Copies of this chain bind each other. A is one copy, B any other.
Amino acid sequence: MQLKALIISADNFEDMELFYPLHRLKEEGVAVEVASMKEGAITGKHGYSIHVDLTLAEVKPEEFDMLVLPGGRAPERVRLEEKALEIARYFFNENKPVAAICHGVQVLISAGVIRGRKATCFIGIRDDLKSAGARYEDKEVVVDGNLVTSRNPDDLYAFGRELVRKLRT
């Protein structure tokens, strides 16, 4: 059966952080769908656009095998959506893989799922990650159970490696 990954983002996403995992997962034969608040397309900070496959309201999290949260300014918008937080909680409750990079962890902070977990993030929000109870590490990628996190676009090679490894386990 074909695996399915869900990317949740919004306008002003970090372009590389959305497209790198998208293509990397497609390379593995994974079907990738993008969810956001509204139908249409979302556009990254650097001008790349991507079609929105489904609204957050339409997401059935049980249909997906992995959740990917790219960074940029988008997570500060996504974290205001209760449905996005419910989806994140579902993945943690079911111990399904969640991969967040850069500001992506802001969604996990708001979902209340990060306490006690080893994780990393963009350096500018590391104190918020710590305040939320996470065990912050300054590494290119941190894997703790179902959770894969990276700091910024320079880490994408390591983020990609670990999210693919997580899918296979």
Contacts and interface: CB of A to CB of B under 8 A. Distances in A.
A16 interface: yes
A27 interface: yes
Interface string A6-27: 0000000001100110111011
B26 A157 contact: yes
Contacts of A26: 157
Copies of this chain assembled into the complex: 2
A160 interface: yes
Contact of A19 (B20, B27, B47): B20
Interface residues of A, number: 18
Given A15-B15, A16-B16, A156 B48 contact: no
A161 interface: yes
Contacts of A57: none
A157 B23 CA distance: 4
